Chain A
């Protein structure tokens, strides 16, 4: 039992903080942008790319990777510390999909060639990734996806429509999951995981605007898109296993407990500055603060398991659900705290906190849906974690 970071990890935190103090655009800090709503800024992609390349040049994106893949063999807590500090400084620059999900999946299931080709790009911060799993007709029940890749002598040819592809309009590469066998029993044994260059002819990306007015999602159409066979990860018809291990990472890629905590502190400061801190508000802030700490411990447990080469599964589902639902409650608290002011949109006269409050609140409806719904998380916890029987 030990509930502290090492002196080396703490020193890394200081180093990152000192760097961000100089590098993060003042406007981002002033506006207290949060990870989930900063992409609405008109210059976000430029700032994101610039920060990502600086973090890449420092070697921080890949610091916790094995040396053979260009890392420094640092503990996975370094990744968390980097994300916590980026959160505290309201900074973009970390590609949750490329660095957070694709890289670990490649290290686990990729071929040596795939690792050599893609890991350096992710580590440098120069290559942006998206992932394409869901379809209009299939979300939580991923094993039933229908978009089909037909095998030809030199490649697979994909046709169909996918949806909910975050950053699809910006990404250089795509982690694509499609059906390659329509007769597989059970159906998840007919799914393959591909790495797709987004410059390949036949890809059309259309925006899907979420209820907060932000453009993160896209729908992606595939019209005879040809993918080389060497871009298969984990083997033909074995993509579902790659997805499962990828989800274990995805569920804790973002430090949501820290995003909630920083936003809560910003709300508390607003409350203090505007004489809103009465007995009841203090009490509610203390309650949410407590929940942030619990969510942090759930996330740290997952990272600790990774540091011991254990594979978190139900543990990451627990962490995901706890922290994302907490962020929803914090976002909702922001609305209650500001009352009628919460109705004012960004750029309106008299809008508090540069419009963060409705922006975070409306965005938060997605938190119990993205990266696996809370309901799927609970299924995972109950069936895999607690051994309760499946209804068939």
Chain B
């Protein structure tokens, strides 16, 4: 057992923290939340120069580090309440390509992701907002060597700025809904692809993407035809663990600013942090933050080692979501009325936490998954 970060992970943590502290102020966060794209080309370029966009991509495709390095950086992204297509490109896009792509596809797309030249996201969720295989209703019909794709994807993160969408579609009707699902690499500018931005409470960029008779060639299939669901499951494991890492960072920062406030805010002649009612709340927050980190690191470690991780991921997502929610609620209570205003940064964290919690399945979904595993 080892709960500590290694040297490389510590280095990534410091690198990301220093960068975000310097470049991602509350002012920038507010601007990015309001911004249509959610990031600036300058910022993206800097992330690329620090090799952060290539995290967990194999070195031969221009990447650096492993999934644990990525998790450590995502935690820092959470601390900064970072908005932008980092998660979409490094976790969703890159993972799916690493998992299922042919040698040619890897060479074609992964270096571009690592260098920040292209942004790739995953078009998975549909209007049911479910993460079971039967939720995939978008159809890809074979026509000679091509596929014609029809359907609507919802909650597609950063689709508005993505160059490519990895569309999960049904290629065959079968009794078992897990079979007959395939992944397609689709240029967002292709005829028939239309993207409508959704307005979100957190300022994160999500979109509804409609595929209307989109014609792609067989070369655009990512992985084996009809056998895409196991790939989706693996990507979902990474995505959920990555969301947990973000929540760990969000919760840690909410605790940090609550502690700062509790130490300086005076009431009844004392800093409010001297009162047991506040102290015990903060103690509970620390337990929630640390427990979240352990569960997240454990799931990430198993994924990184290539070990079965479904149970650990479900435990992490179910627990971290609840813990992060409790932390946010307590942070608001510690801050009092000022934290209830738009002028304060805390609401950004609260909103982002709920965004992370619900994407790729909420608490109940993951508890249900868990009862099927055990």
Contact = CB atoms under 8 A, between A and B. Distances in A.
Interface in B275-298: 275-276, 278-280, 282-284, 286-287, 290-291, 294-295, 297-298
Contacts of A377: 283
Interface stretch (B1-9, B142-150, B221-229, B337-345): B1-9
A3 B295 contact: no
B286 A381 contact: yes
A276 to B, nearest CB: 14
B279 A383 contact: yes
Interface in A1-40: 1-5
B6 A1 contact: yes
A382 to B, nearest CB: 3
B290 A1 contact: no
A251 to B, nearest CB: 14
Interface residues of B, number: 44
Contacts of A77: 1
A297 to B, nearest CB: 4
Interface in A259-305: 282-283, 285-287, 289-291, 293-294, 297-298, 300-301, 303-305
Interface string B310-353: 00100100110000000000000000000000000000000000
Contact of B287 (A290, A300, A381): A381
Given A283-B371, A378-B280, A382-B279, A388 B297 contact: no
Contacts of A386: 259, 279, 282-283, 286
A45 to B, nearest CB: 34
A1 B13 CA distance: 14
B318 to A, nearest CB: 5
A339 interface: no
Contacts of A291: 319
B302 interface: yes
A65 B43 CA distance: 54
Nearest to B284: A378
B267 to A, nearest CB: 12
Contact of A1 (B2, B262, B279, B291): B2
Contacts of A285: 371
Given A1-B4, A282-B371, A286-B371, A389 B283 contact: no
Given A307-B1, A386-B286, A1 B297 contact: yes
B319 A1 contact: no
A388 B282 contact: yes
B108 to A, nearest CB: 32
A1 to B, nearest CB: 5
B374 interface: yes
Contacts of A282: 368, 371
B270 A391 contact: yes
B370 A290 contact: yes
A104 B77 CA distance: 41
B282 A1 contact: no
Given A379-B279, A389-B271, A322 B291 contact: yes
A305 B279 CA distance: 25
B247 interface: no
B129 interface: no
A309 to B, nearest CB: 13
A375 interface: yes
A385 interface: yes
Given A290-B318, A382-B279, A2 B2 contact: yes
A220 interface: no
A128 interface: no
Interface residues of A, number: 41
A379 to B, nearest CB: 7
B131 interface: no
B1 A300 contact: yes
A191 interface: no
A86 interface: no
B251 to A, nearest CB: 14
B315 A293 contact: yes
B367 A290 contact: yes
Interface in A350-392: 375, 377-379, 381-383, 385-391
Contacts of B4: 1
Contacts of B2: 1-2, 304
A378 B295 CA distance: 21
A389 B259 CA distance: 11
B273 interface: yes
A318 B287 contact: yes
Contact of A297 (B291, B302, B367): B291
Contacts of A307: 1
Contacts of B287: 298, 318, 321-322, 381
A378 B294 CA distance: 20
Contacts of A381: 282-283, 286-287
B319 A294 contact: yes
Listed residue (A1, A2, A377) with the most chain B CB atoms within 10 angstroms of its CB: A1
A383 B9 CA distance: 29
A378 B300 CA distance: 29
Contact of B367 (A2, A283, A383): A283
Nearest to A301: B3
Contact of B295 (A4, A294, A383): A294
Nearest to B305: A4
Interface string B362-374: 0010011011001
B301 A388 contact: no
Nearest to A385: B286
Contacts of A387: 259, 263
A174 to B, nearest CB: 32
B284 A388 contact: no
Interface in A174-194: none
Interface in B259-274: 259, 262-263, 270-271, 273-274
Contact of A385 (B9, B283, B318): B283
20 contacts: A2-B2, A282-B368, A283-B368, A285-B371, A286-B371, A289-B370, A290-B319, A301-B290, A303-B1, A304-B1, A304-B2, A304-B3, A307-B1, A318-B283, A318-B286, A378-B280, A382-B273, A389-B274, A391-B275, A391-B276
Interface of A: 1-5, 77, 282-283, 285-287, 289-291, 293-294, 297-298, 300-301, 303-305, 307, 318, 321-322, 375, 377-379, 381-383, 385-391
The 5 closest A-B pairs by CB, nearest first: A382-B279, A297-B294, A381-B283, A378-B283, A2-B2
Given A283-B364, A287-B367, A301-B290, 17 more contacts: A1-B2, A2-B301, A3-B298, A293-B312, A307-B1, A318-B287, A318-B290, A321-B287, A378-B276, A378-B279, A379-B276, A381-B282, A381-B286, A382-B273, A386-B259, A388-B263, A391-B270
